[in-house]
Amino acid sequence: MIAAEFPYWATSIFKLGMALAVVLAPAGLTVYLYLFKMVSFMQSRLGPMEAGPYGSMQLLAEVGKWAQKEDIVPERSDEFVYKAAPYVVLLSTFLLALVVPFGPGAQFVDFDTGIFFALAVSSVSVVGILMAGWASASKYSLMGGLRAAGQLIAYELPLVLAVVGVVIQAGSLNMQDIVTAQTTGEIFGWGAIGNPFIITQFVGFIIFLIAVQAELTQTPFDMPIAESELVSGYMTEYSGFRFLLFFIGEFATANIFAFLASVLFLGGWSVPPFVMDAIPGLAPEVTGLAGALNGTTGAATASFSSWFNLLGPIVMATKMLALTFIVYWVRFTFPRFREDQLQRFAWKVLIPLALINITVTGVLKVVF
Amino acid sequence: MFLNQFLFLAAILFCIGIYGVLTRKNGVLMLMSIELILNSVNINLVAFGAYHQHIAGQVFALFVIAVAAAEVGVGLAIVLLIYRNRRSINVAEANLMKG
Amino acid sequence: MSVLAVIAQESALSDQGAWIANIFFYAIAAVAIMAALKMVTTQNVVHAALYLLVVLTAVAATYIVLGAEFAAVTQALVYLGAVMVLLLFGVMLTRAKIGIETDLDHEQKWMGALVAVVTGAVMGYSLWEAFGDVKLPADQMPQTTQQVSDSIFSTYIVPFEALSVLLLAALIGAVVVARRD
Amino acid sequence: MALVPGVIKGLGVTFGEIVKTVTKGAATVQYPHEKEAPPPRARGVIALLEENCTACMLCARECPDWCIYIEGHKTLAPPRRAGGNPRSVNKLDRFDIDYALCMYCGICVDVCPFEALFWSPEYEYSEPKIADLLHDKSRLGQWMETVPEFESYEAGAEVKQKKVPRP
């Protein structure tokens, strides 16, 4: 569609702007829709209504409030580490956004090992959290940081293991190939909706969502910032702009995990094949499908219409909103786990379940 | 690109790692220096893999990474045990066996 | 790291663009060596761990320059995600102080420095003699994940399985050693 | 696994509440735009009926956070019966309640033996400056207009006789 060639620096600046948009815009949207409005409705109230129509500018007001607050550094803290920690957490969010595909060409970097890279950089935020916890020179922060590290390491495993099932089915670590595999797949010869892996990998999908909830330290798993025990955990001492960075990191990461989940389990930026067949010019040209289905080659390749570069972000945003709805729904419904229940749930329930899922998937992949 | 630039980087990191292992008394810092040594070896493996256009270099680097993870796990468990028994992770003080 | 990957891969493939990869390599190497030196000299345990983190990231970037993407991502997953968090965890459990700690080093630092310098001199000399001006093949292809997995699960299947057993043994061993009974 | 039905039921509760709020409206009101009428016995602000006050200081002494300030002086009042001696009464000079300190326990209203203090359901008296929350006796007297006549707790119940009649 876009035939013109842009110089390297122009695409780089464009990508930088898009990265900011991809991280910040969905974060603002979900914070307004779910954190301000949905939780209010759950508690039979209306939420912010004054700033802008239906309170939609409330977030800007909050950002303005945070930005003008004093940037407090505790006297006995390790100043450099203390100041750098929020940026490390935010860095992990931006690195995650790099590999999410929003269309056949609308991706920042098309890594060969895309999903593996995403899982690897998602754990960088733990380092930032530990830095914040240690450098604050506060026992609440240290306890929160240690709890966060223990929890995030424990739930990293089911997260990775849940993805392995998808990777076995798609035959590739590349996120574009995973989307293609779901679009061109068939369920026992019936290909009208393709083969979104939520159907065949339902157990993996549930494990992935639970692990994401824990990775984001959302409420049933919010011991690191348990306000009734630890004041505010690792961010106790942070104020103003640096607190805002933690805040953005938390909610933007939730969106990016929702993007990842929609790529892995809901078919990503593509729409079901019967929709594509109905609209002329959208149907992809698929090659290597027979080989992918009987397992002789890795993944089928398909060339999609470049209209998907415009359509894809909209489709992805819809799926992201549906998945973040579940995340916040769970967050505002359940009370907090106890620390030992948390670890037991990860090691004795989720990880064995994920391993069984992998085994069954592998056996079925070989059999069929 | 010369092969040697990677090998020299690995060699320098290796020597810094050796210096760290020899001079540090703190158990965790010694473990960190050992990680540095293992990483420099990994650079060598990957560089030779690229030089010979052979995948074995990368595969061996992966094996080394896995072994390093196991080593850190056990090493840290030992350091924690020393800390619990002696309230210090100074390895120079762990000298009960010395005659 | 990822922008680097694109530039490195695009430029490493074409001969005239190889100098970009070179510049990136020297920048990475400088960062790695500086951070490594700070790591072995700093008087704060947590700072040392964070410097090691920088070194490990730089090493991952070096792998990308060499076209070994899978190894780089594994390095990030295992080292940044697991090993470093484990080390920081251990450092904090053993009460790392904020500020400067004394008594982290032996008194005879010069012995260590001597050994390191001599080792470095020997290795440098032999490397110069052996690979003085050997160049990496200019038309190298990045080593794909599929090649890695094919290789692991065919040629190197026995070491791979042995490694699995080793990891399991290390897991159980670590639990047994650190368990409070 | 046995917990799964409970988990789903919990999700149903919160989702049902969303639907209820969207269709039937919220339980809260949008305060500055629409106001709730508080019940007549609501504890909004304490009003002072100055004629009844004898400056006996009972309320000030019983106040848990010492937010009532009373000053008075003795003065002579005309005799009740013709030909009697003039009575000695306490004249109130100052009666202040600091609503920045008050915790609305109502002990002062309860202990007042002369029915000089009343609860009023009025609540809109916030101030930009905290010092302005100190209400003097004229301000407290103005609140008397807002004190409602209570209905009895039960229809037909015996009405408590006030010792001192209200004007």
In a domain, D59, yes or no: yes
Q: Is A45 helix (H, G, I), strand (E, B) or coil?
A: coil
Residue D86, both tokens = 């003039």
Contact by Cβ (8 Å): A112, C69: yes
- The residue that leads in pLDDT, B90 or B34, is B34
Residues 145-164 of C with CB under 8 A from B: 147-148, 151-152, 155-156, 159-160, 163
Nearest to A334 among D10, D20, D28 (CB): D10
Rg (CA), chain A: 21
C18 confidence band (pLDDT: 50, 70, 90): low
Angle, to 10 degrees, between the axis of helix B3-23 and the axis of helix B27-51?
A: 170
For residue D119, which phi and psi values (nearest 5 degrees)? -80, 140
Side-chain half-sphere exposure of A188, counting CA atoms within 13 A: 2
Structure-token match 């510049």, residue found: C23
CA distance C14 to C141: 11
CA distance B65 to C129: 29
pLDDT tens figures, C56-105: 989 988 888 887 888 888 888 888 878 888 888 778 777 767 767 777 77
pLDDT of D20 above 70: yes
Residue A157, both tokens = 């495993």
Arithmetic mean of pLDDT, C135-154: 76
Contact A333 D30 (CB under 8 A): no
Mean pLDDT value across chain D:
83
Pick the closest to residue C76 from B43, A121, A91, B10 (CA basis).
Answer: A121
Contact by Cβ (8 Å): A108, A98: yes
CA distance A354 to A204: 7
Q: Is C5 on the interface with B (CB under 8 A)?
A: no
Please give the angle made by the CA atoms of B49, B52 and B54, to the nearest 5 degrees.
55
Contact by Cβ (8 Å): B77, C174: yes
Q: Give the chain C residue nearest A96 (alpha carbons).
A: C2
Q: Give the chain A residue nearest D20 (alpha carbons).
A: A44
Q: Which residues of A touch C53 (CB under 8 A)?
A: 127
Pairs of CB atoms within 8 A across A/D? 39
- The residue that leads in pLDDT, B91 or D117, is D117
D64 confidence band (pLDDT: 50, 70, 90): very high
In a domain, D137, yes or no: yes
Contact B14 C127 (CB under 8 A): no
Contact by Cβ (8 Å): D58, D111: yes
pLDDT tens figures, D82-105: 778 888 888 888 889 998 899 998
Contact D28 A332 (CB under 8 A): no
Return the top range by mean pLDDT from A51-55, A105-109, A318-322. Answer: A318-322
Q: What's CA D84's distance to the chain center, in Å?
A: 39
Burial of C160 (0-12, 13-18, 19+ CB in 10 A): middle
> Amino acid letter at A114?
G
Q: Is D30 helix (H, G, I), strand (E, B) or coil?
A: coil
Chain A contact partners (≥3 CB pairs within 8 A): C, D
**DSSP string for residues in C95-139:** TPPSS--S--B-S-HHHHHHHHHHHHHHHHHHHHHHSTTPBPPTT
In a domain, D100, yes or no: yes
CA distance A266 to A319: 8
In a domain, D66, yes or no: yes
Report how many domains make up chain D.
1
CA distance D64 to C63: 72
Q: Is D96 helix (H, G, I), strand (E, B) or coil?
A: strand
Q: Is the dihedral of CA C34, C36, C37, C41 positive or negative?
A: positive
Contact by Cβ (8 Å): B37, B3: no
> Amino acid letter at A76?
R
Buried b (16+ CB within 10 A) or exposed e, A275-298: ebeeeeebebebebbeebeeeeeb
The whole-number pLDDT of residue C165 equals 92
Q: Is D45 helix (H, G, I), strand (E, B) or coil?
A: strand
Strands (E), chain B: none
CA distance C24 to C7: 9
Nearest to C75 among B50, B65, B78 (CB): B65
Question: Which of the 8 DSSP states describes residue A190?
Answer: B
Q: Is D69 helix (H, G, I), strand (E, B) or coil?
A: strand
Structural element, H or E, at residue C161: helix C157-178
Residue A94, both tokens = 């931006």
The whole-number pLDDT of residue D83 equals 79
Beta-bridge partner residues of D119 = D46
pLDDT of A7 above 80: no
Nearest to D11 among A43, A49, A333 (CB): A333
In a domain, D135, yes or no: yes
Contact D20 A330 (CB under 8 A): no
Contact A120 C69 (CB under 8 A): no
Structural element, H or E, at residue A248: helix A240-265
Output the CA–CA distances (angstroms, integers) from residue A355 to A114, A204, B73, C173, in the order listed. 22, 10, 22, 22
In a domain, D71, yes or no: yes
pLDDT of C111 above 80: yes
Pick the closest to residue C76 from C91, C64, C92 (CA basis).
Answer: C64
Ordered by start, the domain boundaries in chain A are 74-367
pLDDT of A184 above 80: no
The whole-number pLDDT of residue A285 equals 67
CA distance D110 to D119: 10
pLDDT of C4 above 60: no
- CATH number for D85: 3.30.70.3270
Arithmetic mean of pLDDT, D108-122: 86
Return the top range by mean pLDDT from A268-277, A352-361, C13-22. Answer: A352-361
Q: What is the CATH code for C2-100?
A: 1.20.120.1200
Question: Which of the 8 DSSP states describes residue D34?
Answer: S
Contact D17 A42 (CB under 8 A): yes
Contact B24 C132 (CB under 8 A): no
Chain B contact partners (≥3 CB pairs within 8 A): C
pLDDT tens figures, B23-80: 888 888 888 898 899 999 999 998 888 888 888 888 888 899 888 888 888 888 888 8
- The residue that leads in pLDDT, B76 or A109, is B76
pLDDT of A2 above 50: no
Q: What is the CATH code for B3-91?
A: 1.10.287.3510
